[in-house]
């Protein structure tokens, strides 16, 4: 029997969508099934950084760090609208301490016991030197030193911190990254099925037969595939043993990472990396122009079916963490939003959630008679490399498939230079003079070169249809329904954008009602 698809990908997070894109571009037939909205779980709840993982050097995870450092610039070139360089400020004080569980800390405790876990300045400089050079840099500047007594970056901080190191990493709009990978996969021939849950997977004669339940329609359908890719994120274990009925014993460790968003705490556009007394780090990142994003925690999570939420204890932990650095402490009253996600890490037996490896682990299982590739762990920075590794691991089942191709290939809207955002904003403002600067910038940062298509043929504000608040218009929502799989208000205001930070509850309710009443007709009208 000839199967319907070469690959059935279970899970529409960044790993699943990245694999679907890569495989489709190599000529394989691909179906991706996601039980909820595309990118609605872990991939929408990251700290929103493309970074090498400076702290992973303490665990001697040099391969992971090198791969991530190389990927930063590869990804920047492919998506300059949703990712951009950012400078990170690491305040230094002699009292800074290691996470005592890291291999580096254990070695220092033996060779330099008088340090008692503190971070010597030379070790910070060595780590940053490695960070600058392990992966090479063409775009991002290297490390420099700051005198916090005179630099503007020192003004928000307590006087205790007199110097800092400044290095480079990158910001990324994580939810949009997932959607754009799904769109590009679809453009290359993949079938993308949001809100379709895989219910049963059976195997006969080396072919998978999979039953899907459409959560919107209530209908059940069946597809067949040669290989299943289990990229279900926090549900990878449930799919492995429940849906696929595999005997594979590999485990997943669920670790919750929570974040808080506050009013804007500093005027500059750089990120702080703060070191805690427990050896962990927290970021304080400029966010959506008027806010600051603070995170993250590392807490064991009970199960994939338990909705992750930032607990009062985690909020208090993050507030206490950052207030050790700020000259003007913040309180619960300054928090405007919280979010939390679950990282599906490979269970490597680490003693703590913070120590568990962030590297990805891929396991091919043929115990049912047909191959299934199970994805454990991974970082958003290395999703493209993970997809290439996944294709390498299943290449024996597709001997005629072509080789890697995704490095540097632009995602939808991203076919322009890394430094071309300002020019795109100017062009959009000139073509649509009714857009103010902030509105034009938001559109370019979301859609890149496709922003013109979102505004297509509009001559005035009235041409954009109903206004839902915060410059979100009917025309843009139509685009999101037709092109980006949006069905309800949360898809639009919390994943395709972060306009939920600015819109009122009533405005969001009006949008949700409009979308529920108009989704089908809107998609038809947008296609005409």
Judge whether 39 and 13 are in contact, CB under 8 Å.
yes
For residue 221, the cross-strand partners are 212
CA distance 89 to 155: 13
Tokens 């947008």 sit on residue: 526
CA distance 205 to 107: 54
Q: What does DSSP assign to residue 410? A: P
Check residue 117 and give its pLDDT: 66
CA distance 97 to 276: 8
CATH of domain 5-43+175-250+357-396: 3.50.50.60
Average pLDDT over residues 89-107: 77
296: preceding bond cis by omega (within 30 degrees)? yes
- Of the two residues 94 and 273, the one the predictor is more confident about is 273
CATH of domain 420-526: 1.10.8.870
For residue 218, the cross-strand partners are none
Tokens 């895989």 sit on residue: 198
pLDDT tens digits, residue range 348-357? 665 455 556 6
CA distance 106 to 103: 5
- pLDDT surpasses 50 at 485: yes
pLDDT tens digits, residue range 288-297? 999 999 999 9
* Cα dihedral 193, 195, 196, 199 sign: positive
Check residue 358 and give its pLDDT: 66
pTM, two decimals, is: 0.93
- The per-residue pLDDT of the chain, averaged, comes to 92
Q: What percent of the chain has pLDDT over 70?
A: 94
pLDDT band at 523 (very low <50, low <70, confident <90, very high): very low
Q: How far is CA 40 from CA 31, 177, 263, 373, 526, in A?
A: 18, 12, 25, 22, 24
CA distance 266 to 290: 10
Check residue 389 and give its pLDDT: 97
pLDDT tens digits, residue range 423-460? 999 999 999 999 999 999 999 999 999 999 999 889 99
Check residue 115 and give its pLDDT: 66
Written as six digits, the tokens of 492 are 């639009």
pLDDT band at 505 (very low <50, low <70, confident <90, very high): very high
Average pLDDT over residues 65-75: 92
CA atoms within 13 A on the CB side of 499: 24
- Of the two residues 203 and 350, the one the predictor is more confident about is 203
pLDDT tens digits, residue range 378-394? 889 999 999 999 999 99
Check residue 342 and give its pLDDT: 94
The count of other CB atoms within 10 Å of the CB of residue 361 is 17
- Lowest mean pLDDT across 100-109, 124-133, 167-176, 242-251: 100-109
Largest pairwise CA distance in the chain: 73
Q: Residues spanned by CATH 3.30.9.10 within the chain?
A: 83-171+253-346
The count of other CB atoms within 10 Å of the CB of residue 204 is 12
In DSSP notation, 433-487 reads TTS-HHHHHHHHHHHGGGHHHHTTT--SGGGG--EEETTEEHHHHHHHHHHH---
Q: Residues spanned by CATH 3.50.50.60 within the chain?
A: 5-43+175-250+357-396
Average pLDDT over residues 172-183: 98
Q: What percent of the chain has pLDDT over 90?
A: 77
CA distance 485 to 487: 6
* Cα dihedral 333, 337, 342, 345 sign: negative
pLDDT band at 526 (very low <50, low <70, confident <90, very high): very low
- Lowest mean pLDDT across 117-121, 152-156, 200-204: 117-121
- pLDDT surpasses 60 at 465: yes
Burial code (b: 16+ CB inside 10 Å, e: under 16) for 419-458 equals ebbeebbebbbeebeebeeebbbbbbbbbbbbbbebbeeb
- pLDDT surpasses 90 at 27: yes
Check residue 278 and give its pLDDT: 75
- Cα 136 from chain centroid (whole Å): 23
- pLDDT surpasses 80 at 94: no
Cβ neighbours of residue 143 closer than 8 Å, sequence gap 6 or more? 128, 129, 131, 132, 165, 166, 167, 168
Judge whether 295 and 257 are in contact, CB under 8 Å.
yes
pLDDT tens digits, residue range 214-270? 998 899 999 999 999 999 999 999 999 999 998 876 678 899 999 999 999 999 999
Q: What does DSSP assign to residue 404? A: -
Q: What does DSSP assign to residue 140? A: S
CA distance 278 to 352: 12
- pLDDT surpasses 80 at 405: yes
- Lowest mean pLDDT across 209-213, 349-353, 478-482, 494-498: 349-353
Check residue 452 and give its pLDDT: 96
- Lowest mean pLDDT across 261-275, 277-291, 383-397, 481-495: 277-291
- pLDDT surpasses 50 at 331: yes
Q: Residues spanned by CATH 1.10.8.870 within the chain?
A: 420-526
Written as six digits, the tokens of 190 are 């993949």
In DSSP notation, 226-255 reads EEEEE--GGGHHHIIIIIS-------EEEE
Check residue 116 and give its pLDDT: 65
CA distance 241 to 428: 51
pLDDT tens digits, residue range 413-429? 999 999 999 999 999 99
- Lowest mean pLDDT across 157-166, 297-306, 321-330, 390-399: 297-306
Phi, psi for residue 524 in degrees, rounded to 5 = -65, -45
State whether CATH 3.30.9.10 applies to domain 83-171+253-346.
Answer: yes
- pLDDT surpasses 60 at 198: yes
pLDDT band at 280 (very low <50, low <70, confident <90, very high): confident
pLDDT band at 95 (very low <50, low <70, confident <90, very high): confident
């Amino acid at each position: 029997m000839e199967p319907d698809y070469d690959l059935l990908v279970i899970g529409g997070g960044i790993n699943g969508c990245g694999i679907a894109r890569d495989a489709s571009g190599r000529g394989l037939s691909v179906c991706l099934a996601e039980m909820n909205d595309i990118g609605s779980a872990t991939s929408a709840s990251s700290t929103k950084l493309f970074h090498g993982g400076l702290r992973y050097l303490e665990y001697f995870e040099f391969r992971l760090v090198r791969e991530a450092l190389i990927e930063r610039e590869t990804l920047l070139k492919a998506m300059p609208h949703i990712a951009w360089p950012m400078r990170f400020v690491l305040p230094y004080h002699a009292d800074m301490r290691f996470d005592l569980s890291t291999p580096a800390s254990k070695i220092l405790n033996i060779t330099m016991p008088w340090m008692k876990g503190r971070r010597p300045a030379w070790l910070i400089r060595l780590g940053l030197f490695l960070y600058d050079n392990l992966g090479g840099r063409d775009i991002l500047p290297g490390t420099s030193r700051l005198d916090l007594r005179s630099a503007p970056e020192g003004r928000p901080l307590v006087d205790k911190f007199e110097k800092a190191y400044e290095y480079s990493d990158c910001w990324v709009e994580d939810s949009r990254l997932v959607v754009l990978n799904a769109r590009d996969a679809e453009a290359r021939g993949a079938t993308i099925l949001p809100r379709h849950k895989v219910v049963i997977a059976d195997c006969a004669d080396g072919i998978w037969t999979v039953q899907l339940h459409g959560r919107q329609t209530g209908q059940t359908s069946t597809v067949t595939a040669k290989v299943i890719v289990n990229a279900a994120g926090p549900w990878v274990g449930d799919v492995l043993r429940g849906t696929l009925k595999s005997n594979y014993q590999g485990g997943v460790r669920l670790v919750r990472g929570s974040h808080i968003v506050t009013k804007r705490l500093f005027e500059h556009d750089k990120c702080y990396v703060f070191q805690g007394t427990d050896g962990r780090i927290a970021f304080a990142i400029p966010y959506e122009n008027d806010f600051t994003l603070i995170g993250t925690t590392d807490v064991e999570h009970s199960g994939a079916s338990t909705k992750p939420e930032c607990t009062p204890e985690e909020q208090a932990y993050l507030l206490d963490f950052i207030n050790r650095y700020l000259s003007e402490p913040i309180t619960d009253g300054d928090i405007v939003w919280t979010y939390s996600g679950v990282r599906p890490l490979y269970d490597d037996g680490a003693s703590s959630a913070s120590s568990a490896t962030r590297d990805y682990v891929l396991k091919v299982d043929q115990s049912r008679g047909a191959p299934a590739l199970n994805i454990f762990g991974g970082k958003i920075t290395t999703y493209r490399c993970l997809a290439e590794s996944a294709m390498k691991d299943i290449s024996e089942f597709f001997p005629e498939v072509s080789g890697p191709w995704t490095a540097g290939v632009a995602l939808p809207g991203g076919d322009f230079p890394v430094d071309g955002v300002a020019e795109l904003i100017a062009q959009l403002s000139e073509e649509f003079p009714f857009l103010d600067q902030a509105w034009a910038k938001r559109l370019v940062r979301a859609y890149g070169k496709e922003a013109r298509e979102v505004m297509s043929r509009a001559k005035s504000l009235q041409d954009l249809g109903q206004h839902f608040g915060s410059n979100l218009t009917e025309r843009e929502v139509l685009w999101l329904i037709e092109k980006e799989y949006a069905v309800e208000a949360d898809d639009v205001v919390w994943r395709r954008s972060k306009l939920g930070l600015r819109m009122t509850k009533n405005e969001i309710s009006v949008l949700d009602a409009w979308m529920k009443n108009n989704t089908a007709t809107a998609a038809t009208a947008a296609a005409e």
